[in-house]
């Protein structure tokens, strides 16, 4: 049994070429034309999906052969193909980077690849790079290439002339930048600024969608899009989520969600609900107090950018302290953990106090302090996820265990520490809940977990 739907995997030779911009603009263009678009992101990412959700109007899920698993990938794409007119998948880093890579996903599922290249500082060499991408891994199904950050129409002509296979050309996009800014989608130390933080985010996407509509890719008829249809097979094996038990039945889990706590996989929320949890959301930045609950999840985000506002909310601090003092569980992840510590020293050397429930202080680094896929072994279970942060935490709190690289043993002083402070569990580790839902349920006080 299968479901057929046009699909593209948007890839590039490296990060920073314009994958997110093109994917979101393409989703916006087709959404404006009344089509149902479902967008996915390869690999772990919390920020790019905000733009894709804005463009498509639907939640964006991650696909990864290791972290989410091939059965989960197959199940999500099959479900999307049953309801969508178009599926778009943004790759991660370069097309062939990582293991498994975006190219491996495309080849395994026969998804056409559309490459976007930053051509701002080249002309005929564009053709050589495209030739290398197309011929590096035989067996890929190619939809074509699109040149990004092109200066003029003459520049586009030079790029197109450099292609060995003219049929690959899907057009060129010139720079679309709001007045007074240096980029269309601004960035900060962890990646793109989330779409919900910019009041004109939709107008930015519309500007690129308008430009994309003038390219050969944007002018393809819907009949031509059917040439890129894919038969997505129903997964033969049950995805990990089907092993979930009602460990959180009857329990209310309060989830922080705002600009300071925005690193949330929609699939993690789905997992909590599948275990029976009732979810309530609160915004510390908006001045919310802690709602009545049995457990708290503080996701990652940017507490360092909002320290004064977080400190101004006395009600949430008092509520969290009372919750913890009563022995009720808290899971604090990356930025959520930092928010609970005594404070953080920024790039300017200034110390900003934070909530102080977790003994220890953080320091923001100028270089990445943690990056990559990680696994966290607890008893006989292995929770999969990743790490991505610039700060370091110095804490006297006991370390229960540490995460490690996929398939590797825990090494002293390496990986991410899992701290336990009373009923609080905290780590820089970002967990993919469905990889070991029982572990997460245990951290949140689940019955029988």
Q: How many CB atoms lie within 10 A of CB 168?
A: 20
H/E element, 252:
strand 252-256
271 catalytic per annotation: no
* Relative orientation angle of helices 19-32 and 48-56, to the nearest 10 degrees: 10
Cα(202)–Cα(197) distance, rounded to whole angstroms? 11
Strand pairing class (2-11; 86-90): parallel
Question: CB within 8 A of 58, min separation 6: which ones?
Answer: 36, 37, 38, 39
- On whether the CB atoms of residues 218 and 29 are closer than 8 A, the answer is yes
Query: Residue 104: which of 112, 96, 92 has the closest Cα?
Result: 96
- Sign for the CA dihedral angle at 50, 51, 55, 56 comes to negative
**Looking at residue 227, what DSSP letter applies?**
G
What are the residues facing 279 on neighbouring strands? 253
Of the residues 5, 271, 293, 334, only one is catalytic, namely 334
Cα(370)–Cα(331) distance, rounded to whole angstroms? 19
**Looking at residue 261, what DSSP letter applies?**
B
H/E element, 77:
helix 70-83
Residues designated catalytic: 334
């Amino acid at each position: 049994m299968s479901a057929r739907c046009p699909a593209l995997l948007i890839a590039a030779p490296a990060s920073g070429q314009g994958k997110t911009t093109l994917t979101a603009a393409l989703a916006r263009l087709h959404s404006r034309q009344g089509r149902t678009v479902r967008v996915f992101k390869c690999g772990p990412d919390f920020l790019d999906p905000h733009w894709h959700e804005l463009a498509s109007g639907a939640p964006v899920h991650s696909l990864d052969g290791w972290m989410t698993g091939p059965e989960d990938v197959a199940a999500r794409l099959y479900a999307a193909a049953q309801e969508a007119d178009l599926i778009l998948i943004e790759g991660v880093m370069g097309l062939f980077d990582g293991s498994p890579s975006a190219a491996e996903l495309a080849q395994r599922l026969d998804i056409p690849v559309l490459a976007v290249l930053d051509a701002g500082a080249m002309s005929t060499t564009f053709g050589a790079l495209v030739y290398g991408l197309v011929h590096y891994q035989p067996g890929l199904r190619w939809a074509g290439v699109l040149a990004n950050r092109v200066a003029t129409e003459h520049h586009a002509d030079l790029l197109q002339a450099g292609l060995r296979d003219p049929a690959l050309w899907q057009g060129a996009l010139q720079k679309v930048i709001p007045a007074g800014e240096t980029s269309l989608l601004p960035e900060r130390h962890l990646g793109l600024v989330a779409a919900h933080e910019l009041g004109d985010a939709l107008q930015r996407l519309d500007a690129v969608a308008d430009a994309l509509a003038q390219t050969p890719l944007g002018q393809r008829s819907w009949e031509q899009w059917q040439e890129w249809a894919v038969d997505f097979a129903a997964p033969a094996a049950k995805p990990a989520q089907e092993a979930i038990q009602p460990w959180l039945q009857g329990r209310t889990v309060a989830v922080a969600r705002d600009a300071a706590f925005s690193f949330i996989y929609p699939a993690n929320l789905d997992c909590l609900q599948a275990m029976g949890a009732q979810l309530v959301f609160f915004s510390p930045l908006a001045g919310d107090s802690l709602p009545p609950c049995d457990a708290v999840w503080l996701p990652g985000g940017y507490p360092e950018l909002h320290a004064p506002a977080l400190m101004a909310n006395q009600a949430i601090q008092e509520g969290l302290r009372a919750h913890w003092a009563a022995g009720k569980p808290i899971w604090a992840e990356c930025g959520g953990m930092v928010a609970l510590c005594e404070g953080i020293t920024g790039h300017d050397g200034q110390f900003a106090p934070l909530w102080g429930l977790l003994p220890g202080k953080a320091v923001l680094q100028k270089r990445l302090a943690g990056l990559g896929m990680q696994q966290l072994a607890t008893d006989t279970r292995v929770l999969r996820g990743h790490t991505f942060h610039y700060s370091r935490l110095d804490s006297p709190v006991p370390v229960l265990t540490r995460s490690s690289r996929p398939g590797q043993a825990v090494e002293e002083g390496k990986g991410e520490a899992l701290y336990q402070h009373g009923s609080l569990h905290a780590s820089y580790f970002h967990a993919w809940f469905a990889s070991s839902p029982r572990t997460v349920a245990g951290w949140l006080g689940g019955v029988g977990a």
